[in-house]
Amino acid sequence: MALAYIGLGSNLADPQAQIAAALAELEQLEHCLLSQVSSLYFSRPMGPQDQPDYMNAVVAIETSLSPIKLLDQLQAIENNAGRERKDNRWGARILDLDILLYDQQLINTERLIIPHYGLKLREFVLLPLAEIANELILPDGDSVKALAQQIEKNGLKVHSKLR
């Protein structure tokens, strides 16, 4: 089994309900065990500011799925939520599920880059990750705890418990 960390984000169509529904779907995934769930965080948009605020969370999943099979499953959940795959990389989204880490693997392909490029730069990823994996060391040797202590909070707030 591998240990993967997944980032969840939403800023459309009742973000809190979207994250809760995604969590329920992650719990049902075959060959996956949802092992940890962060709090739900309220966060200001990174990128264009003319979009609603976000809800974000991070979960840990033990899985026997390969990274690409896991990605397929996550994209199916995004599509079920009504996510449109158009060119809106920096725009509002109903549901975003990103593989942040997959064990200590480094993956750099057209479909998948792991560790996720935003991991160390985004408070709404790093702080929920630190909540559930404060002792984690990234593949490049950086400590999640130290990175989380240093990053600008940018108005990030714990909104509620998910578990």
Chain contacts with ligand ROI (rule: CB under 6 A): 9, 43-47, 54, 56, 90, 96, 124
Q: How far is the CB of 139 from ligand ROI (least distance, A)?
A: 22
In the annotation, is 163 catalytic? no
Q: Which residue has the tokens 């966060």?
A: 43
Q: How far is the CB of 43 from ligand ROI (least distance, A)?
A: 4
d(CA 91, CA 137): 31
- Residue of this chain nearest to ligand ROI (CB atom): 9
Task: Identify the active-site residue in 83, 85, 103, 111.
Answer: 83
**Strand ranges for 31-111 from DSSP E:** 32-37, 40-43, 54-63, 96-102, 107-108
Task: Identify the active-site residue in 96, 103, 111, 140.
Answer: 96
> Pairing mode, if any, of strands 157-160 and 40-43?
antiparallel
| Contact indicator for 40, 151 with CB cutoff of 8 Å | no
Q: How far is the CB of 109 from ligand ROI (least distance, A)?
A: 20
Q: Is 90 or 163 the residue whose CB approaches ligand ROI more closely? A: 90
CB neighbour list of residue 76: distance below 8 Å, 6 or more residues apart: none
Task: Identify the active-site residue in 44, 53, 87, 98.
Answer: 98
In the annotation, is 96 catalytic? yes
In the annotation, is 44 catalytic? no
d(CA 47, CA 31): 35
Task: Identify the active-site residue in 14, 50, 93, 140.
Answer: 93
Q: Is 54 or 102 the residue whose CB approaches ligand ROI more closely? A: 54
